[in-house]
Amino acid sequence: MGMTEDFETSLQVLRGFDADISIEVNEIKRSVASTTRRTTIRFADLKERRYWFPLMVGIGLLMLQQLSGINGVLFYSSTIFEAAGVKSSNAATFGVGAIQVIATAVTTWLVDKAGRRLLLIVSSFGMTLSLLVVAVSFFLKDVVSSDSSVYSIMGILSVVGVVAMVVTFSLGMGAIPWVIMSEILPINIKGLAGSIATLSNWFFAWVVTMTANLLLDWSSGGTFTIYMVVSAFTIVFVTLWVPETKGRTLEEIQWSFR
């Protein structure tokens, strides 16, 4: 926006007062100068690899974040806990919410230490295992007697699995896709591409929310199996296509997409 002095002051504070920021300042100025030569980006321009690839990564992460079923689990947690045999389902739901807040707070501390990509992989792997436990628990509950000890054990396991799924989601897939998207999109398409990615995220949030209750009525075990498959695919997606952005400048990240 032409606020050069404010930009340099902010960068100096960010990097530390003893750091030499001259090289980074010049790189950013060159990047901004090349961007301002053409400020209008059309949809047709997104076919260039330096645009469509980071956009694909951003949209993919935000889609998979929702298709993992997290909003369905959170919005219908009372129903899920009732099906699992928990007497105080509302209290359990409150507990899940509290745990989610704590886990997200831990993520803010971990994200710059462990790295974005590693946390995404660990988070997706944890979600896959948790959802597998929940799915198996509900499938077994359907075939054993409600008076048996196995039935009670499966009820406990399903609750533990749901809580573990929320915790592992909050440790990576909850916040980091938004961080990744803000770091990989070129400056001149952040507005357009960011809006497209956000639209896709909330569209799939709506799809999951609208279908979760119908799927749970159809089969609780089947519902969590579907969510588990999506989480397993997320591991593959992150491993193959999501770059590590920790400690890298915007220019270095953009160069990797060329």
Three-state SS annotation for 133-167: HHHHHHHHHCCCCCCCHHHHHHHHHHHHHHHHHHH
Q: Is the pLDDT of residue 32 over 80?
A: no
**76 located within any domain:** yes
Residue 115 has a pLDDT of 84
Give the residue carrying structure tokens 């950013």: 28
- For residue 5, with 0-12 CB atoms within 10 Å meaning exposed, 13-18 middle and 19 or more buried, which class applies? exposed
Q: Identify whether residues 57 and 17 lie together within a single domain.
A: no
Q: Residues 15, 119: one domain?
A: no
Side-chain half-sphere exposure of 154, counting CA atoms within 13 A: 22
Do residue 173 and residue 86 come from a single domain? yes
Cα 130 off chain centre by: 16
In percent, the amount of the chain with pLDDT more than 70 equals 92
Contacts of 177 (CB under 8 A, 6+ apart): 58, 61, 62, 64, 65, 120
- Reduced to 3 states (helix: H, G, I; strand: E, B; else coil), residue 32 is helix
SS3 content of the chain, % helix, strand, coil (to 5): 80, 0, 20
Q: What is the residue range of 25's domain? A: 1-37
Q: Are residues 27 and 76 in the same domain?
A: no
pLDDT confidence of 257, banded at 50, 70, 90? low
Q: What is the CATH number of the domain that holds 205?
A: 1.20.1250.20
Residues 135 and 237 both lie in one domain: yes
Q: Is residue 143 part of a domain?
A: yes
pLDDT digits (tens, 9 = 90+) for 133-153: 999 998 998 888 878 888 888
Together in a domain, 132 and 215: yes
Q: What stretch of H or E contains 202?
A: helix 190-218
Quote the number of domains for the chain.
2
Q: How confident is the model at residue 39 (pLDDT cuts 50, 70, 90)?
A: low
**How many Å apart are CA 142 and CA 59, to the nearest integer?**
37
Domain check: are 58 and 110 in the same one?
Answer: yes
How many beta carbons lie within 10 A of that of residue 153, not counting itself?
A: 14
pLDDT one-digit tens code per residue, 66-105: 999 999 888 877 777 777 777 676 777 788 888 888 888 8
The whole-angstrom separation of Cα 184 and Cα 53 is: 9
- 159 located within any domain: yes
What is the C-alpha radius of gyration for the chain, rounded to an integer number of angstroms? Answer: 22
Cα dist from 12 to 6, 7, 27, 249, whole Å: 10, 9, 15, 14
| Greatest mean pLDDT range, 36-45, 139-148, 163-172, 247-256 | 163-172
Rounded to 10 degrees, what is the CA torsion of 166, 169, 171, 177?
-150
Q: Is residue 70 part of a domain?
A: yes
Indicate whether 31 and 71 sit together in one domain: no
**60 and 30 in one domain?**
no
Rounded to the nearest integer, the mean pLDDT of the chain is 86
Q: What percent of the chain has pLDDT over 90?
A: 43
Side-chain-side CA neighbours of residue 133 (13 Å) = 19
pLDDT of residue 36 exceeding 60: no
Whether residue 99 sits in one domain with residue 28 = no
pLDDT band at 43 (very low <50, low <70, confident <90, very high): low
Confidence of residue 176 (pLDDT cuts 50, 70, 90): very high
pLDDT tens for 188-225 read 788 888 888 999 999 999 999 999 989 989 998 999 99
**Residue 68 phi/psi, 5° resolution?**
-70, -10
Measured distance between the N- and C-terminal CA atoms of the chain, rounded to whole angstroms: 26
